[in-house]
Amino acid sequence: MFDRLRAYFKTDRDLKPEYERRIKELEGIIGTDIDNPFIYIRALRHRSILADDNYSSTDSYERLEFLGDAVLDLIVTEVIFDLFPEKNEGFLTKLRAKLVKGDTLAMYARNLNLSELMLLGERVQGQGIEKSKSVLADVFEALVGALYVDVGYEPTSTFVRMVIERYVNFDEIIDTLDNYKSLLLEFAQAHQMEIPTYTVISEEGPGHDKTFGVEVYVDEKPVAQGKGKSKKEAEQKAARRALEKFH
């Protein structure tokens, strides 16, 4: 498989001077010398540039992104499997989803300064497309795919582990895994909805043993209710039921 993949990206062309700076910076990012620069140039090439230089439809980063997505999933799975030996499958699944979701991948790319290295078509330059979260996430996955094809699994795993160690705060992420209010807020923001709000609709029982009823509103519409021995517990239950309804 590797021989076929490497042959696909092999070329006898000389590297353009405008690409040399990008390759040098990428070497610093991935921590190793690059022998086959053309695969990495493809990983940086946005589809908007294809028409400018008469490239084929497969000469952008999209195929490498497809490959990198699968490789990244496996590496992240190994990382959290080793880090959290006592945690169950449900916890690991939710944690992995946090680490490979678009916002997180875009954060990796932003911190690695990949937006400054991208190759864009003339018609989109100056529009800020290289700062788009979805584009940044795609480029990071494409870089992982390029590494995998060029040097194999172990060096790629080393690079991804370095990125995770440098930029991921596991304590912060774990705190939000079962925080349904945070999850509902993320859902609302991702779907361009108003920020959820919570209203106490009932209080039952004596002062030392109250039960609170809370209703959550999304887009100013009542969505779900929850009850608990504290307002926070009731809010979490209402948020959880709201997510169940949305999903």
pLDDT at 146 over 90: yes
pLDDT at 1 over 60: no
Task: Judge contact between 124 and 48, C-beta under 8 A.
Answer: yes
pLDDT of residue 166: 96
What 8-state DSSP symbol labels residue 230? S
Q: Which of 65, 69, 130, 215 is catalytic?
A: 69
C-beta neighbour count of 44 within 10 angstroms? 24
Tens digit of each residue's pLDDT (9 = 90 or more) over 188-204: 998 899 999 999 999 99
As a whole number, the mean pLDDT across the chain is: 88
pLDDT of residue 242: 95
46/59 Cα distance (integer angstroms): 9
Nearest to 225 by CA among 216, 217, 233: 216
pTM score, whole prediction? 0.72
Q: Active site includes 165?
A: no
Q: Active site includes 69?
A: yes
Structural domains of the chain, ranges and CATH numbers in brackets: 2-175 (1.10.1520.10), 180-246 (3.30.160.20)
Q: Give Cα 27 to chain centroid, integer Å.
A: 22
242/247 Cα distance (integer angstroms): 9
Query: Mean pLDDT across the stretch 24-50?
Result: 89
pLDDT at 12 over 50: no
Q: What angle do CA 183, 185, 189 make, to 5 degrees?
A: 120
Q: Which of 65, 130, 138, 141 is catalytic?
A: 141
Please list, in sequence order, all residues whose beta carbon lies within 8 angstroms of the beta carbon of residue 49, skipping any fewer than 6 positions away: 55, 60, 119, 120, 121
Tens digit of each residue's pLDDT (9 = 90 or more) over 163-183: 999 999 998 888 777 788 988
